[in-house]
A and B are shown apart, each in its own frame.
Chain A
C-alpha cells in the first residue's frame, strides 16, 4: 500500500480505535472490579465535553507545549505507519514526551512540577528498552526501516523473545498502567499520580487525552511488528497484549518510582541486552566482525524457523 494512504488511514482511524480501546479498557477494568462500568463510548463523551469547557491557564504558553505534544505524537505514529526509520520514530516520541513535561513545568504549580519530574523518571526507565528493541529488530532484519522490518519473512519474536518481554514490561509504563502509573494514572484522579495534568483544563486536557489515544495505537502497532510475517497473529497478539496490560493494571498495586526505575533497568539489562548479546555471540558466521557491520545471518540458539541464506542478505540491505 502507498505509505501516504497508510498515514491517512492512521490519522483518521487512530483516534477512533484509541478512543474505543480506552472505553473498552474502562469497561473491562470495571467488570474486573465487579462493577458495571461506563459505556464503551465514554472517552468520546469526555473529550467532547472538555472541548466545550472554559480553558483556564496559568501561562498561555503551557497550552502551546501541549499542542506540540499532540502534533509530535501524531507525527511519531505517522512516521511509524508510513514505514519510516525506527530510530527517527523513537526520537520523535521522546521529543513529544519532553514537550508534555515542559508544559507541566511551565504551569509552575507544585503538583504539576512533581508530576513532570515523575514523567521524566518514567522516560529514564523506558527509553533504554525502547532503543534496544529497535536495535534488536535491526540485528534480525538488517534494517531500521519499519516497512522492511514488517515485511521480514521470519517471526521476529522467535529470535527476540527477551526483547519482546522487555518491551512488554516497558509498555506498562508507556500505557500508564499499574504498577507503574506514576505520572498520569487513569484511575487515581485525586492523587499526586495525576499531578502532571493538574493545571490543564478544557480543550488542553482533551488534547492530552487524544494524544494518549494516538500513542496507544502506535505502541500496539509496534507489538504487531514482532509478528510482521503473520499479520493476523500480529493483530491478535496486539489485542491480547492490551487485555494483558489491563489485567496487570487491576491485579498489581502501584510501586514506588525507585522500584520502577531499578526493575525496568534490570529487565532491560537481562532480557533486552541479554537477548541481543546472545544474537551477536551465537551468530553462525563468526568471521564477520559484530561491532562494525551486522553479520550476514544471525540467530539465537532457539531459532526454529529457517533463516534465509547469507547470499540473499546484501540485496535486502538498505
Chain B
C-alpha cells in the first residue's frame, strides 16, 4: 500500500442532503466504527483533504460551493458521492431546483448508494476511493517525470471539454485577485469554446502543422499533451500583421517548467508571416504579467475590461 492509502484525509460537504447520510458519515468517526484506525481524519479544510465526501442531491445554491471546494483541493484528489441522492438525485431528481447528483457538477470517482448510506458502506467506499487515489497519484508522478516528452499538437473540438476544465483550474489563482468570478476565462461555457474552433476564417484546426498558405483572420488552437493528458493550451488569432494571443494556460501542478514558453514558440511557428504578437492580462495578474514579460512581451497600453478589471496590453516583435 502506498502512503496515500494509509492517510486519507476527508472533507465532508452537505449539498442539500436531508442529514440522514451526514449523520451516518459522522457515525463513522464514533467509537463503534472509528475510521481513524484507518488513518482517516475529518479535516474540513479543502487544502488539506484528499477525499471529498458529498451527500445530497445538489440544489442550485450548492453548485458553486461544490465547484469551489473541488478546485481548492490539492492534487491528487478523489470525489465520493455518498447516498442515492448524491449518486443520481434520488427521489429529488425531477425537482425544479435540483441538478441531480454530484456528477452533474464535478467528476465523481466512487458512488456509495443507500438511503441513508450505512457506515459500513461509507467505509467501504472510502477504501475503494483509496485505490483510485493511489492510481491518480501514480498518473501524476508519471506525468511529472515524462514532461520532457511533452507533445505540442493542434487541438480539435473533441479536446474542448478537457481544455475548458484545464482553463478553469489554471485561472483559479487569478480569480482570487479580482474577487468574484468576473474573469471571462472562468465564465466561458463549452459551446463558446467550441465556437472558437469554428472561426469562419480559420482552417480546420485538426490539420497537421504543415503550414497552409497564410490567410488573414485564422485561428490556431494548440495543446500540450503528456501521456494523453492535456496539461497546457494556447490560442492564437491572426488579423493582418498581428497575432492576438489568448488563454495561455498551464496546469498549476506543472507551471514553471517551460511548458508555456514552448507553447508560445510553437504558436510562433504556426504564424511564420506575422511580425507582431499581442497579448493582454488583467492589471492585478502580476504573475501572468511577469511571465509574459519574461517571454519577451512589453507593455504598451491599458484599457478597460469587465468591471474590476483593467486590461494591460503587451506586444512582442518577432526577432
Say yes or no: A189 contacts B7, CB within 8 Å.
no
Say yes or no: A52 contacts B45, CB within 8 Å.
no
Q: Which of A37-51 contact B (CB under 8 A)?
A: 37-39, 42, 45-46, 48-49
Say yes or no: B3 contacts A49, CB within 8 Å.
yes
B250 to chain A, nearest CB (A): 14
Q: Say if the beta carbon of B252 comes within 8 Å of chain A.
A: yes
Q: Say if the beta carbon of A147 comes within 8 Å of chain B.
A: no
A134 to B183 CA separation, bound complex (whole angstroms): 56
A contact patch SS: loop
A30 to B36 CA separation, bound complex (whole angstroms): 9
Say yes or no: B31 contacts A34, CB within 8 Å.
yes
Say yes or no: A48 contacts B36, CB within 8 Å.
no
Q: Say if the beta carbon of B37 comes within 8 Å of chain A.
A: yes
B4 CB contact (under 8 Å) in A33, A36, A42, A52? A52
Q: Say if the beta carbon of A2 comes within 8 Å of chain B.
A: no
A205 to B41 CA separation, bound complex (whole angstroms): 15
B52 to chain A, nearest CB (A): 14
Among listed A164-172, A194-202, A238-246, A291-299, interface-contacting one: A194-202
B255 to chain A, nearest CB (A): 11
Residues of B within 8 A of A33 (CB): 31
A54 to B72 CA separation, bound complex (whole angstroms): 11
Known A56-B47, A197-B48; further 17 A-B contacts with Cβ < 8 A: A35-B31, A36-B34, A37-B34, A37-B36, A39-B6, A42-B39, A45-B6, A46-B7, A46-B39, A52-B137, A53-B50, A189-B41, A189-B43, A189-B45, A199-B47, A201-B48, A201-B74
Between A and B, 29 residue pairs with Cβ closer than 8 Å are A30-B36, A33-B31, A34-B31, A35-B36, A35-B37, A38-B37, A38-B39, A39-B39, A42-B39, A45-B3, A46-B7, A46-B39, A46-B41, A48-B3, A49-B6, A49-B7, A52-B3, A52-B137, A54-B74, A56-B47, A56-B72, A189-B45, A189-B48, A190-B42, A190-B45, A194-B45, A198-B45, A198-B47, A201-B47
**Nearest 5 Cβ contacts at the A-B interface:** A190-B44, A201-B47, A45-B6, A54-B74, A54-B75
